[in-house]
């Protein structure tokens, strides 16, 4: 199994009003968010991002951490599973000239509205059946994505990430370390269908044969 390591340490932190968000969210809001359409990305804040536009301040500080961790260079290849509108791979391509980047996302809306220079490099697809050959990428990255699947599908997605990454991978998933964090996660959660205690996640990774690196999203 891989390492617990925070490769998003330089991603800007935002102030979250977790309890207030939990009090406002309904199951209808969650059902709308889980369609991952316009409402989720660019609709009302209660259904998702509330407007998802490119800002360089988010991913540009993170790319050097990815680059050092995976030893990325111009000859490398990276897949983003759950690429959204392609902002992360856009910044990676900008900061590591020549690198091959690809993105895949379940959302037709996100792929259609991907940042322009990344449109040729992204496609609609499901993490449970990644349309790439074995060992296709030097690194596979998936941020806050696979937990949107039910447990069995989550296991399949992890095995798929394992299959196509030849040098390493990194994922982040919704998790908690104690009862207070569990309560906050239940209030915050909008799209995740699988979230667990960090120790349960580690056991799960071992069970399904995921050997990549990982970290947690805890609101």
**Pairing relation of β-strands 137-143 and 100-105?**
unpaired
| Residue 23, domain extent | 18-217
Residue at 49 is within a domain: yes
Residue at 65 is within a domain: yes
The predicted pLDDT at position 25 comes to 78
Domain tally, the chain: 1
DSSP tag of 4 = B
Q: Residues 58, 63, 68, 69: is their CA dihedral positive or negative? A: positive
Instruction: Read off the pTM.
Output: 0.95
The predicted pLDDT at position 188 comes to 86
Residue at 12 is within a domain: no
The stretches in the chain having pLDDT less than 50 are none
Residue 150, number of CB atoms within 10 A of its CB: 10
Domain of 71, CATH number, reads 3.40.50.150
Residue at 24 is within a domain: yes
Residue at 197 is within a domain: yes
Length of the chain, please? 219
Q: What is the largest CA-CA distance in the chain?
A: 48
Residue at 211 is within a domain: yes
The predicted pLDDT at position 219 comes to 85
The predicted pLDDT at position 205 comes to 98
Residue at 11 is within a domain: no
> What is the distance between the alpha carbons of residues 205 and 210, in angstroms, rounded to a whole number?
5
Residue at 6 is within a domain: no
The predicted pLDDT at position 177 comes to 97
> What is the distance between the alpha carbons of residues 111 and 76, in angstroms, rounded to a whole number?
23
């Amino acid at each position: 199994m891989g390492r617990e390591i925070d490769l998003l340490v330089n991603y800007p932190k935002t102030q979250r009003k977790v309890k207030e968000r939990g009090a406002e969210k309904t199951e209808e809001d969650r059902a709308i968010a889980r369609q991952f359409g316009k409402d989720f990305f660019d609709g009302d804040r209660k259904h998702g991002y509330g407007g998802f536009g490119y800002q360089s301040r988010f991913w540009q500080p993170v790319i050097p951490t990815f680059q050092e961790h995976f030893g990325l260079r111009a000859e490398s290849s990276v897949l983003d599973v759950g690429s959204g509108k392609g902002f992360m791979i856009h910044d990676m391509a900008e900061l590591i000239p020549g690198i091959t980047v690809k993105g895949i996302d379940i959302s037709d809306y996100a792929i259609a509205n991907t940042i322009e220079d990344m449109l040729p490099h992204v496609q609609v697809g499901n993490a449970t059946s990644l349309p790439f050959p074995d060992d296709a990428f030097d690194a596979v990255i998936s941020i806050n994505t696979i937990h949107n699947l039910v447990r069995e599908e989550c296991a399949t997605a992890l095995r798929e990430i394992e299959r196509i990454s030849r040098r390493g991978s990194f994922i982040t998933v919704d998790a908690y370390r104690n009862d207070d964090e569990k309560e906050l996660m239940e209030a915050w959660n909008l799209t995740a269908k699988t979230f667990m205690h960090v120790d349960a996640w580690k056991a799960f990774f071992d069970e399904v044969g995921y050997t990549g690196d990982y970290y947690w999203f805890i609101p």
